Amino acid sequence: MRDVPRLVATDLDGTIVRRDGTISARTVAAFARVEAAGARFVLVTGRPPRVMPSIAAAFGHRGTAICANGAVTYDMRTGQVAAGRLIAPADLAAAAAALRAAVPGIGIAVEYPDGRAADAAFQAISWDANESIPRPVEETLFARPAAKLLGRHLGYSPDELLALAAPVLTGLVSVSHSNGKGLIEAAAIGVSKATAVAELAGRHGITAEEVIAFGDMPNDLPLLAWAGTSCAVANAHPDVLAAATCVIGSNDTDGVAEYLERLYR
């Protein structure tokens, strides 16, 4: 491995985004330092592209974002979205049926590359509540490929919900969570933050050993396992703290920025 990584991959919420929803000037400056050293940086998030413009603006419309846990790519310079592997309509419908059977009362939502929709039971929270969600009939909801399938039940923690959902979704979708309130999220089989970053790195001749990754939640685990160096922020999920090769400061104390400042002197 070179003296410093050639690619820095980081999660957003809970990792570089603070609890108040902001990204500090120090963090933005740290990633500018990465670029000045000749390395690349990529934001790797469960967020859909529709909520990325403010993030792109914070970073001065530089860099690339991988959204929906690896399913789509968002160009932060142009705002263009490129879809990767999506969940097929038949798998969407089957996964939704399996979730409803395993967790009665669960609400279902679908993120398409260009929008979203939900059933009548899905409860909108956080940025989901900022605008109305289309509530189409069942046949329309699962009629086209989607980047993510979401399930929400406020009677369960994300860990509890994931434990109920994972066994019934095997072979249909890849399911995880990012600590959204009562929320699990699923991508197509074989799609993860790790697969998307590996593909991006490969296009630039960068190996896993030349990548450093930062994260905080179970949906970051595949990426942290793949990268040559993995860092969990101090506020991370216990499974992430156990899996990472190092633990750094929390999101609210700019732990990622502090680490990068030392790394890219």
At residue 50, the 3 state secondary structure works out as: helix
Per residue in 87-108, pLDDT (tens digit) is: 999 999 999 999 999 999 999 9
> Confidence band (pLDDT; 50, 70, 90) for 265?
confident
* Predicted pLDDT at 86: 97
Please state, as a whole number, how many other Cβ atoms lie within 10 Å of the Cβ of residue 194.
23
Q: Cβ neighbours of residue 3 under 8 Å, at least 6 residues apart? A: none
* Predicted pLDDT at 130: 57
> Confidence band (pLDDT; 50, 70, 90) for 84?
confident
* Predicted pLDDT at 149: 97
- β-strands 183-187, 174-176 pairing: antiparallel
Residue 134 or 98, more confident:
98
- Per cent of the chain over pLDDT 90 is 89
* Predicted pLDDT at 125: 83
* Residue pair 92/149 in contact by the 8 Å Cβ criterion: yes
- Per cent of the chain over pLDDT 70 is 97
Per residue in 204-247, pLDDT (tens digit) is: 999 999 999 999 999 999 999 999 999 999 999 999 999 999 99
pTM confidence score: 0.93
Q: Distance of alpha carbon 204 from its chain centroid, rounded?
A: 22
List, in order of start, the domains of the chain with CATH numbers: 7-84+191-263 (3.40.50.1000), 89-187 (3.30.1240.10)
Q: What share of the chain is helix, strand, coil (3-state, %, to 5)?
A: 40, 25, 40
H/E run at residue 151: strand 148-152
Averaged pLDDT score across all residues of the chain: 94
* Predicted pLDDT at 144: 95
> Confidence band (pLDDT; 50, 70, 90) for 1?
very low
